Chain A
């Protein structure tokens, strides 16, 4: 199979039109010493039926969150994805399109992006949104470089309670740009605000906190914003969009830039990607914003339309002076988020957040009551919490699998002093019965 429609006759007639005798002549400009002398060493081609069987066999070697009951979160969440999302993002007019460079023939995607931008502004209570970034980790890194450009400062202060992979990604980006990354430690499961106050200075471009943080705790975002602003720095809030049905949005506590991972808004977990990096900010910062953005305009008849705009920031115009090198983003995940948020609406947004809150707190109360189990902190939390246990969390995870339960994340790898702790996530999908069975299985370990 090669999906080429030509017959041999097509090919010979086309070669004649071109004026060459054979295909090889079209490649005569490739020097013989760099031409491949053999066929690529790849497995033999497959028919569609054989391929489908092979892919099915590979897929079946994985255990899925469909056949296990998952309490695993830590940045990728088992939220419900309604059927409308999958059906609408499967419209091939959307998914087989490129970036909407020719606006008039791409109004569908452009309007969907414009709607996505509006929805994200509403959710985060910020002024403007871009069209998406790769994921939560790169969104944090992009926000940090954006703050450095805006303030002309080269230091970033980030809480150690921000997702470990986001911090690693930020450091990878920052190192090459000569940006100094300083970490403020944790106290009782949340950012140590005193230490944060000591570290931030007039050299700081931005202060970055995550809310809820990696351990699930709700942070004192308003206080942290105050610390940033007192030093003339920007405040970057990395937030879980689902939490914003209930928790204060970045715009209500003075964030300058809001970023985060939007996977929970209608994208499957897919072993880590593609996800959805989002970035919203205050109006004053738009010329330093990374990535694409759709704007409203009109045609000669006055009809409303949408177009990619503010492109003078971008790589294809500004080249080495662009605000970012990003070109392709995660448009289809942004479309999924737009459909998902419109499906929820005003009431559904609050309800899904409340369900997570209720079920996670029920689970917390039950788990904390098991002898030998002890919460890492008493700080308020949303849908995820860390708990210390009397057995190694990895071992507990293996035992839970016997009850078809996918346990939480063992935290020792990321925080050595939490080697006996597991991070447990509870979404709206979990039932009381499932939570009870988790607790029964954990009780068996105590």
Chain B
């Protein structure tokens, strides 16, 4: 049965809303505003009862998979369990009912939380100062690169340093953020062990390079053992090192980007620090920097003076602002609570167990799926669907079949350097039972690929819809509902 849209449940005259009385003398809108300023045709919003509304979105929620529903091994996304106590904390009126412009002395608790969270993140990353303003990881990348650009400009060689280097294994946001910051993107190759190819890097380095963007462990889930040498190559040519914190869940309390030589990094609070991803956001992407780059952080920065927390706007070299107000505060509350619950030991254990789970899965699956880089992984690993390709089964088919087992699929076709890539990140909060069930599903799929590839081509079979036609969706985009006009259905 087709699930109706909220508009298709609408019936003229039904209502869910109740609003306060107009207890002031009422005037007609035409008395208060000129005619040209008024809306001519009312917005055609659906008219539904409250119970209809609740049932509609409850039904929609039942057609959605989240971490609370089941395993979500989406590589590079760190879909760990989101503790409920953090949700309760963030919902406290003392945090949720705060206006961003209320005077600082009325928001001391909020500012204290931001100040302390910034300090914790600096300690975890081995950095000196942080901003919590960026709203997501990619926003953090852009902010970090703007800081790097401002730093080079302050030293007089900003105009010459026009390039940013990214490895061919990088997240798509890295080159996109560099371009959005006005940089030319130069790609360097990976070596046979999955790390940055040092000769390619040396060849790409020059006094035109502003920065190298890197994640370590990288998107293959492998720690780049040459990191000290890489940092030296970049620094010797006057460039800076940017750390993409998407993979921070592998190394908390074990190694720190700041100690590896990175100058700027962003965190993904919605990955490493357990804040839920909201079905696509909100995230939060704080940026931490070494001392030399601190003058360029966006304003305001939370400072502590004489025991009071204040918003410091007096930073003449600041890049400015990257969003209104101070960042996704509600997300910060949850990340703060997470760090306070775990402490140093808990964070290290989280990383250790994330790495344990990834290696366990990798070893269990290696007999059935091609493992292109056979060494200890960190928090995630990348398989290739190459064996299955022989029977005409693609990675996309494997991903769709997994849905029928009640699992979200891993990240697929990324990183781009692995053919038919399957990128698995189990996280530390999954039990051995769950991991074993996933292994059984993957083995079952590998066997099915040999016996009955057609079954995989038509997967999924048990979802509320079958495999959706993405080509039609892109060729004839239907991006909104219109009454009596269905172009891409049926």
Contacts and interface: CB of A to CB of B under 8 A. Distances in A.
A198 interface: no
7 contacts: A30-B251, A52-B89, A56-B89, A65-B97, A123-B43, A128-B479, A318-B176
Interface string A322-356: 10111111111101001101111111111110110
A362 B27 CA distance: 10
Contacts of A96: 66-69, 82, 276-277
The list of the 7 closest CB pairs from A to B, nearest first, reads A59-B94, A272-B325, A61-B109, A331-B280, A108-B64, A45-B343, A332-B278
Nearest to B331: A274
B123 A40 contact: yes
A169 B192 CA distance: 42
B56 to A, nearest CB: 8
A17 B363 contact: yes
B374 interface: no
A96 B340 CA distance: 21
B98 A270 contact: yes
Given A93-B66, A347-B15, A380-B32, A406 B99 contact: yes
A182 interface: no
Given A95-B276, A357-B29, 7 more contacts: A2-B342, A62-B107, A94-B279, A95-B278, A176-B145, A249-B39, A272-B324
B430 A5 contact: yes
A163 B100 CA distance: 14
Contacts of B455: none
A296 B477 CA distance: 7
Given A346-B45, A406-B102, A432 B24 contact: yes
Interface in B153-211: 171-173, 175-182, 185
Contacts of A1: 341-342, 346
A135 B135 contact: yes
Contact of B281 (A54, A92, A330): A330
Interface SS of B by simple majority: loop
A52 B88 contact: yes
Contacts of A11: 353, 356
A42 B109 contact: no
A100 B3 CA distance: 18
B179 A72 contact: no
A270 B83 CA distance: 20
Given A26-B356, A91-B61, A303-B465, A338 B6 contact: yes
Interface in A130-153: 131-132, 134-138, 145
Residue in B83, B123, B280, B409 whose Cβ sees the most chain A Cβ within 10 Å: B280
A414 to B, nearest CB: 11
B352 interface: yes
B19 to A, nearest CB: 6
A315 B326 CA distance: 25
B351 to A, nearest CB: 9
Interface in B55-104: 56-69, 72, 74, 77, 79-83, 85, 87-89, 91-103
B331 A312 contact: no
A42 B339 contact: yes
Interface stretch (A82-90, A199-207, A224-232, A367-375): A82-90
Contacts of B394: none
Contacts of B94: 56, 58-62, 64
A172 interface: yes
Contact of A117 (B74, B149, B479): B479
Interface string B345-358: 11111101101110
Given A17-B364, A35-B254, A431 B20 contact: yes
A446 B231 CA distance: 64
A172 B319 contact: yes
Given A98-B277, A299-B469, A325-B141, A27 B355 contact: yes
Contact of B277 (A42, A97, A172, A305): A97
B376 A26 contact: yes
Contact of B92 (A59, A344, A359): A59
Contacts of A46: 340-341, 343
A346 B11 CA distance: 11
